[in-house]
Amino acid sequence: MIIATVSLNQVWENKKANLLLCEEYIKEASHKSVELIIFPEMTLTGFSTNISLIAENEEKSETIAKFKELAETNKIAILFGIVINDSDKALNKSILIDNQGKILGDYAKIHPFSFSGEDTYFNAGNKLEIAKLNGYNIGLTICYDLRFPEVFSALSKDSDLVINIANWPKKRIKHWDALLKARAIENQLFIIGVNRIGKDANRLEYEESSKIYNANGEIVEYEVFKDMKVYKIEKQFTKSFKSKFNTVNDRKIKFYKGFM
């Protein structure tokens, strides 16, 4: 599968400006025969808790409608982040749309970042999500989820790769790198992390840190194209690696559950 990651420099709470940026990346990626393009968490707003301004009703979402249109027009699958209304609060979501404009995956972040007060404004998701695209089973996660290995262990049972979209600050970027690599090694699959760049209204700085790790914890090689990283991954790599050195088969899940 050919995948492009976009480390978007998100304009704070400006959906129109960010959408224009995304459109350009999508068009360029389609010319490169990219099958899936991935954008960071809360794609069109940056990480904001201004729910009254940024949240949308899922059934009437202009953002979802526009990404569906872009996917179908450019014949490319798109993964993006969005904030959706949910009773008294909201949900921080990751949505995967195929190249026909059909929603394949709809995931609500299970672990709101309580350290920053995200849980004050966002409800926690209550289910794992694995979507099927072009013969790949893709697990969906968002930012802070990365710190909870149980989620990735559960997803890895039926996934070929797991994607984490984020707004992960530069000051904790060593954690981001270490955790992405660890999640790939311990679950023996591809892990994709897509982070933003620039600076937000909270004065948090972000640096280019989007990457893909393979089952051996190695960074997958990529080509830089129009400020995107373009990767080609093959399921056969994971299958071959695990046939020679399989550790996930030795998990004792029932035993672990007895102590949790």
Q: Catalytic one among 109, 118, 211, 229?
A: 109
Average predicted confidence (pLDDT) for the chain: 97
Strand 136-142 versus strand 161-166 pairing type: parallel
- Alpha-carbon distance of 72 to 98, in angstroms, equals 8
Domains of the chain, by residue range, sit at 2-257
- Strand order across the beta sheet in which 222-225 lies: 103-108, 89-97, 77-86, 36-38, 2-5, 228-232, 222-225
Strand 190-195 versus strand 211-213 pairing type: antiparallel
CATH fold, domain 2-257, is Nitrilase/N-carbamoyl-D-aminoacid amidohydrolase (3.60.110)
Strand 2-5 versus strand 36-38 pairing type: parallel
pTM of the shown model: 0.98
Q: Catalytic one among 41, 56, 118, 129?
A: 41
pLDDT of 220-233, one tens digit each? 999 999 999 999 99
Section 207-224 average pLDDT = 98
pLDDT value at 214 more than 90 = yes
pLDDT of 77-136, one tens digit each? 999 999 999 999 999 999 999 999 999 999 999 999 999 999 999 999 999 999 999 999
Section 36-65 average pLDDT = 98
Section 173-192 average pLDDT = 98
Provide the 3-class DSSP secondary structure of residue 12.
coil
**Confidence at residue 27, expressed as pLDDT on a 0 to 100 scale:** 98
* Active site (annotated) includes residue 69: no
Strand 103-108 versus strand 89-97 pairing type: antiparallel
**Confidence at residue 259, expressed as pLDDT on a 0 to 100 scale:** 85
Section 40-68 average pLDDT = 98
Q: Catalytic one among 28, 68, 143, 229?
A: 143
- Alpha-carbon distance of 64 to 54, in angstroms, equals 13
- Alpha-carbon distance of 83 to 81, in angstroms, equals 7
* Active site (annotated) includes residue 129: no
**Confidence at residue 81, expressed as pLDDT on a 0 to 100 scale:** 98
Provide the pLDDT confidence category of residue 179 given band limits of 50, 70 and 90.
Answer: very high
Helical axes 15-31 vs 62-74, angle rounded to 10°: 20
**Confidence at residue 260, expressed as pLDDT on a 0 to 100 scale:** 75
* Active site (annotated) includes residue 143: yes
